[in-house]
Every structure is written in C-alpha cells, then in structure tokens.
Amino acid sequence: MCGMTITEKILARASNRERVSAGDVVFANVDKVMVHDVSGPGVMMVLRELERRGKKIERVWDPDRVWIAEDHFVPAVDKISAENIMTLERMSERFGIKKHFRYGMGQYGICHTLSHEEAMVLPGEVYVGGDSHTNTTGALGCFATGMGHTDIAYVLIHGRIWFRVPETLLFKLEGSIPPYIMAKDIILKIIGDNGTDVANYKAMQFAGSAVRAMPMDERFTLTNMTTEAGAKNGIIEADEKTIEYVRERTDRPFKAIKGDEDAEYEEVFTYEVDRLEPIVAKPHSPSNIAYARELSSVEIDRAYIGSCTGAKYTDLLEAAKIIKGKKSKVRLEVLPASQSIYIKALRDGLLSIFLEAGAVIGPPTCGACCGAHMGVLAKDEVCVSTTNRNFPGRMGHVESKTYLASPKVVAASAVTGRITDPRDV
Amino acid sequence: MIRGKVHKYARDNIDTDVIIPGPYLKIMDHNELAKHAMEGLDRDFVKKVKKGDFILAGRNFGCGSSREHAPIALSYAGISAVLALSFARIFYRNAVDGAYLLPIEIGEDAYNEIEDGDELEIDLDRNEVRNISRQKVYVMKPFPPLIKRIIEAGGLFNYTPE
C-alpha cells in the first residue's frame, strides 16, 4: 500500500480516517470558511429558504471559524451592492462572526489576500470559501477549495461537507527563475501546455527548487491560477518560508503536513524554468498562450494591475521597478489587493511611481477583474491585465479583449503601448 | 423520466462568465438572473427556452467562477438538465447540491449526433438518453452513488448522510 499525498492526509485527518485514497468520497470537518459580498448574501438567501420551510437556524456551527470579506462590489457600486453589504452586516451581527473585514474601517481587501495576510487560514487546515479562487490559500500547505453558496450554507450549519478525494498532479518546477520571469509566466505556461481542464476534480501540487526559491506572494499566484486549470485545489507543502510567514502573523498553533515519500501521484510534470520566456494568454482563454515577443505588434488601450492574482505587494513592486521614471502610453490602473498592501506601497513610494507614470490608483477590490466596476472595458477595447481570466466579457463588453500577463509584462506594455517583453524596455 | 427540447452549443469551455456575466452577481433574485442566462453567448437563449428544455455542450461546461448564479440562471430560465462531455467541478456540485438541474455526462456519439432542436427523453433509472426525434438511444454516465442519493433527496440540505 502506497503512502498518501498532502491533500489525502489532510482530508483523512479531517474525516477521522486512518487513510483515504483518490476517488473516495468523504464527509470532512471544515476548519475555516469564508464568504464575501457575492456568496454571503447567497448563503443568507439559502438560510432564509430553510427557515421558510420550518428549519430553525439559531447559530452557525462555530462563529470563530467563519470570516467575511467585502471585495467584489466595494466600495458599494450601487443600491443593490450596498444592500448586499448590509446583508453581510446583519450576518456577522446575527451569528456573532467577529472576523469581518469592512471597507473604510481599516484592513480589508480581496478575500484571497486576507486569507493569508491576516492568517485566517493555517497550514494543514481544511478551508472552503464561497469563491472559486479559494484555491489560492493552498500555498500555505492547507486544503483550500471554492464552492457555491448552498454548499457554504451547509458548512455554516453542519461544519462539514462532502468531498471526493482528488487525484494529485505534481508539478515539479526546477532550476533558477530568470529575472524577467514571474510565477504568472510559469502557471500560464502550465495551463497553456495542458489545457483548462487538465486538473478538473484533481489537486495540483507544486514542488521543486524553483518553488522553494519563490517568495510566498509568488507561490500564491501558482495556486490561484490552478482554478483556471479546473483544479479542486492547488497546494504547496509548507517549508521554512511558509512557517515564518505564518508565524509573523499569528501565534495560534498549527500542524504543517507533508505528503509521504511513497505517495502516489496521478502524473508528474517537470518544468525547467531557466529558459522560460515571458508569456501572455490571448483572448479568450487562459490556455491560449503566446510569448510576449510574438505579440509585440498588438496595440493595447489599457493596462490593469489588480486582483488576487496580480496586486500583491511583490506584483506592485515588480511593476513599479519597470515603470519607474517612465510614462504610461495607455490608461493604467493599479488596485492594490488589500489595505495593508496599499499602505506599504504608499510608504515605499510605489504609488508615487505609478501616479507619476500617469496611473489612476483604485481602492482594494475585485473591481474590473470580474467586470464589476472600476474600469470595465468597452467594445473592442484591448487590455493587458495581471488578472486570472479572459473569458468573453469577463472584464466588460463581450467584444472587449483581455490579455493575461505577469505584472512585469503589464508594466512594460503600459510603457510602450503594445504588448511588450520586460526585457525590451 | 424528463423530456424536452435540446439547445445545442457545440463548443467546449462554456464558462460561467458567459452563462451569467459578472455584473449580475450582485443580483440574488432568481427570476431576474434567469433573464440574463447565457447572455454572453446567445442573446436569444431566454426567448427560445421552454420549461424542461436541455442544453447540449462539449467539454468542461461551467468552468470558471463558483457563482451559484450560473445553475440558478439556467434553471429558472427553464433548463432541467445540461448534457455535456464533461463539467467543471464547482458547476457540477452547485447544480446537484442546490437541486437546480441535472448535470449529465454523455459520450462523443451523443454529442455529435444529437442536433439542435431534437426532442430528448432522459431516463435516470436506465442511464439512457433517448433521442425521440431521431429514434436513437445513448448511454449516459451513471451518477456516482452519493451524487445519485443527493439528487434523489432533492439537494444537499434534504440529504441525510449515512
């Protein structure tokens, strides 16, 4: 009998079993659960319907394990989104949920940034969120996955939910990362090579010397984009960097878990990162990749630096290094992923660099990444963006065009007005 | 046994952004969401669909966001089942756990041979999709045991784990 992967070990622990194997269906206990201003009102609607049918709901299973983010339509975009924020207020009040990150009241931001910045989730835990990019948090070495609001409502009441234990695809990233390459280039390469459903129902695990060398911010880009390969979860075993990152933020106890030496992986993919070139995903799929240099004739109207994938501190820093002292030839938007990133970028002078280049700085929000607000695209507008999806209409008009790229490529492209390899500015 | 007309979209990766575009995520009213179902792909969809109808599509149907608005919009627009070569995982579990519609996995033969507008009958007991218009029968992939039990219970909240 072979050993277990980290994902199997976490799910075995959470379902009180000695062992589980890929394909098993388990009801697992959940350690943490998150809702935001889209999924939270959905959850409350499900609870109202249950009450209408006669079920008494007095409490959630454990209010200390539930946390709330305001990120999609904030600051409130219109009356409906303002009402949704009020629904979140009523939700935290009614159930005694203390961890509610409110915009305009200090630290707040995109849920997939707060999950680790605020140590809402710890290594080894089972974490579910009402958002598909919940996979991001798996870079802490936890099992993190996204669900819809019915499933999240079920977790709020019962503290557990069903999972089919996923097979694991292991991606070994070896070699040293060239200075013009970011994690975004690597994950776009992986999705481009293997397709947007390569990991459907499966876990994507990352390991190897290049992953170990990455700062945590970059690791979160890898796991974030596993959603775009269809993965149930993205995961990276915790190492010293992870432990240090978490310890800087909390003194709560946790147990980091590693997979067994003889764990079984469905498939192992090895990538040598030394010779990678900057990559861009063309409209309208994250798998539709080309080298940035192949697209140097593509003129752009907009450059967007934002989202859970592309507005972490490291993302802003790398973009600022390229833009420093230059002017943007196109409309450039920068939306830091959280209030604390915003403050740090302000103190370190990054925001001045962007402002002097001509950028508009927006508040932390999902914003135009999901076509919600803060710079949605018009018909035929072309945007190069640090976000994670470029489906038709994702960032605005169904005939707008989004090219996904690393913050370095987006910054270089803003400077030239065309899609540009960061080596060429 | 369910019966209806099929609306065929012969393509892979029909994502949640075209099923129900992002700006509508703030809307919680199911009937309001239904008005915008498939808006990113086919603006006439809502006009064409009758209650109980089916969608036929290729691989990875419903990829993208976790928005439950996607199966809700389709269901309230009238769709009772989506037949596809494969489903993205969150769409699949939302469809089943919320009891909005049936996600039915079919094979290449059914995908290629069933045409837009065909009248179908889905028999869950025999795992069959019958094309009434063309007098052909196809095998559908059986639901895994837990999924079948949740469907029979009428959604996750009505299901009692053993």
Provide DSSP, B28-93. Answer: --HHHHHTTTTTTT-TTHHHH--TT-EEEE-SSBTBS---THHHHHHHHHT--EEEES-B-HHHHH
Which tokens hold the place of A177?
């990362």
Average pLDDT over residues B95-121: 98
B41 and A392 within 8 Å at the Cβ level: the answer is yes
A42 and B60 within 8 Å at the Cβ level: the answer is no
Closest CA to A354 of A366, A372, A341: A341
Whole-Å CA distances, A224 to A220, A319, B128: 6, 19, 38
Average model confidence (pLDDT) for chain A? 98
Q: Please give the full DSSP string across A277-327, using - where no structure is assigned.
A: --EEEPTT-TT-EEEGGGGTT-B-SEEEE-HHHH-SHHHHHHHHHHHTT--
Which tokens hold the place of A341?
């990133």
Give yes or no for B58 touching A (CB within 8 A).
Answer: no
C-beta separation of A107 from A340 below 8 A: yes
- B64 to chain A, minimum CA–CA distance in Å? 7
Whether a cis peptide bond, with omega within 30° of 0, leads into B71 is no
A72 and B67 within 8 Å at the Cβ level: the answer is no
C-beta separation of A184 from A318 below 8 A: no
Residue type, B40: G
Round to whole Å and give the CA distance between A192 and A286: 7
Tens of pLDDT, residue by residue over A185-235, are 999 999 999 999 999 999 999 999 999 999 999 999 999 999 999 999 999
Rounded to 5°, the CA angle A124-A125-A128 comes to 140
Decide if pLDDT at B39 tops 80.
yes
Which tokens hold the place of B37?
């179902």
B59 and A197 within 8 Å at the Cβ level: the answer is yes
A371 and B28 within 8 Å at the Cβ level: the answer is no
Question: Which chain B residue's Cα is nearest to A132?
Answer: B66
Tens of pLDDT, residue by residue over A123-150, are 999 999 999 999 999 999 999 999 999 9
The CB density around residue B49, as the number of other CB atoms within 10 Å, is: 21
B89 and A392 within 8 Å at the Cβ level: the answer is no
Sign of the torsion angle spanned by Cα atoms A88, A89, A95, A97: positive
Give yes or no for A196 touching B (CB within 8 A).
Answer: yes
Nearest by CB to residue B63, choosing from A80, A196, A392, is A196
Residue of B65, B148, B151 to mutate, interface with A, max A Cβ within 10 Å: B65
Give yes or no on whether A6-251+260-270 and A279-424 have one common fold: yes
- Cα Rg for chain A, rounded, in angstroms? 21
Residues paired with residue A401 on neighbouring β-strands, in sequence order? A382
Residue of B11, B76, B89 to mutate, interface with A, max A Cβ within 10 Å: B89
- Cα Rg for chain B, rounded, in angstroms? 15
Which tokens hold the place of A201?
């129902």
- Tokens 């003889």 belong to which residue? A262
Interface of A with B in 211-230 (CB under 8 A): 230
Give yes or no for B156 touching A (CB within 8 A).
Answer: yes
Tens of pLDDT, residue by residue over A318-361, are 999 999 999 999 999 999 999 999 999 999 999 999 999 999 99
Give yes or no for B149 touching A (CB within 8 A).
Answer: no
As assigned by CATH, the class of the A6-251+260-270 domain is alpha beta
A279-424 maps to CATH 1.10.3080.10 = no
Decide if pLDDT at A1 tops 80.
no
Which tokens hold the place of A1?
């009998």
Please state, for a pLDDT cut of 90, what percent of chain A lies above it: 100
C-beta separation of A126 from A233 below 8 A: no
Domains along the sequence of chain B with CATH: 2-158 (3.20.19.10)
Round to whole Å and give the CA distance between A406 and B129: 45
Give yes or no for A167 touching B (CB within 8 A).
Answer: no
- B133 to chain A, minimum CA–CA distance in Å? 32
> What are the residue ranges spanned by the domains of chain A?
6-251+260-270, 279-424
The CB density around residue A363, as the number of other CB atoms within 10 Å, is: 16
Sign of the torsion angle spanned by Cα atoms A294, A297, A298, A302: positive
Give yes or no for B151 touching A (CB within 8 A).
Answer: no
Give yes or no for B133 touching A (CB within 8 A).
Answer: no
Please state, for a pLDDT cut of 70, what percent of chain A lies above it: 100
Residue of B45, B61, B90, B94 to mutate, interface with A, max A Cβ within 10 Å: B90
C-beta separation of A401 from A391 below 8 A: no
Edge-to-edge, what's the strand order for the sheet holding A233-235? Answer: A233-235, A203-207, A168-174, A267-272
Round to whole Å and give the CA distance between A225 and A387: 10
| pLDDT given at position B161 | 84
What pairing do the DSSP bridges indicate for beta strands A203-207 and A279-281? unpaired
Inter-chain CB pairs, A–B, below 8 Å:
126
Round to whole Å and give the CA distance between A169 and A177: 22
CA–chain centroid gap for A318, Å, is 18
- B50 to chain A, minimum CA–CA distance in Å? 25
- ipTM value for the complex: 0.96
Whole-Å CA distances, B82 to A164, B7, B50, B59, B132: 21, 9, 14, 12, 17
Give the DSSP H or E segment for B97.
Answer: helix B89-97
- B118 to chain A, minimum CA–CA distance in Å? 28
List the alpha helices (DSSP H) in A18-147. 39-52, 79-95, 111-117
Residue type, A273: V
Nearest by CB to residue B40, choosing from A131, A151, A393, is A393
B156 and A151 within 8 Å at the Cβ level: the answer is yes
DSSP tag of B130: E
Average pLDDT over residues A9-31: 97
Decide if pLDDT at B162 tops 80.
no
